[in-house]
Structure 1
């Protein structure tokens, strides 16, 4: 239970985060390339529609039986999950907690101290949960990165909770 992180404070719903299950989450991002690539504000619904359409087109053209290339792609993805360095955007969790209208800041509670972040900036945070395929046991369960990568070399470590104020 030491790896459970709570979002509480001026929120409508208290959220419990379990970083060990994020490896299976489709929202995970590869941190080895995330801060070095150009980010485009993409519409997630549009991306989803395009991916489903691509999959549907592939099934129409090739049939529902997976060709050898698709099997190879799946094997590559499984290996990537076992050896990759991943994070997950904090925004969906913060949005689901429904911060109060008067909320202004997010306090990141760490064993190293507390860090205050403006709520607008908190929506861009990235929570790292895996390094080379292994959970962040020594100084985790998560590391917090700012969305712009300004603390990429020195993330906030030993995070224990988040409080919206």
Structure 2
């Protein structure tokens, strides 16, 4: 139940979505696609960089009941940046249980991975579903993402 990031990257990485439940970067599913006016996108991104939440620092403040009842998304951009994708990458192949899907680099960078449904790890068609940041595939996410390959 891992996701590999590889291909045209400097550092291939392996993601384990099962540990993200305690990661401060996660977002509730219902909050992930709220409309943000375009003028605020840069301001929000700057705010996130300045106040980058630390991983696992606030475990004590989580309400266990809340963690076990909500569905959560993880923004993928920081993981892709850590892998240091080559500048000449234009497309990305997502390998799933059912085959592969090709998306653009920009679509990937603005995407979320759904890793928890109603407080439970995704086992059926898991370990994660990919949602585009604009919500355009909100009703039909890319399920069963197991590998992200930069091409």
Query: Aligning the two structures, in what range does the TM-score lie when normalised by the shorter sequence?
Result: 0.7 to 0.9
Q: 1:18 aligns with which of 11, 16, 24?
A: 16
* Equivalent-residue separation in structure 2 for 1:149 and 1:7 (angstroms): 23
Q: Normalized against structure 1, the TM-score is what?
A: 0.78
TM-score, normalised with respect to structure 2: 0.84
Aligned-pair CA distance for 1:37 = 4.5
Please say which of residues 140-149 and 26-35 is displaced more in the overlay.
26-35
Aligned to 2:48: 44
Which residue of structure 1 lines up, in the alignment, with residue 57 of structure 2? none
The alignment status of 1:78 with 2:64, answered yes or no, reads yes
Q: Displacement, 1:17? A: 0.2
Aligned-residue offset at 1:101: 1.6
- CA distance in 2 between partners of 1:19 and 1:108 (Å): 16
Of 74, 77, 83, the match for 1:91: 77
Q: Is the 8 A contact 2:73 2:116 kept in 1?
A: yes
Residue of structure 1 in register with 2:141 after alignment: 155
Distance, in Å, in 2 between the alignment partners of 1:109 and 1:45 is 30
Q: How does 1:63-142 map to 2 (within 5 A)?
A: 74=61, 77-142=63-128
Bigger Rg, structure 1 or 2: 1
Structure 2: which 5+ runs fail to align? 54-60
Aligned length in residues: 139
Could you say which structure has the higher helix fraction? Answer: 1
Matched position secondary structure for 1:83: coil
Over residues 66-98 of structure 1, what are the superposed CA-to-partner deviations in whole Å (9 max), with x where a residue is unaligned? Answer: xxxxxxxx46x3321121100100100100000
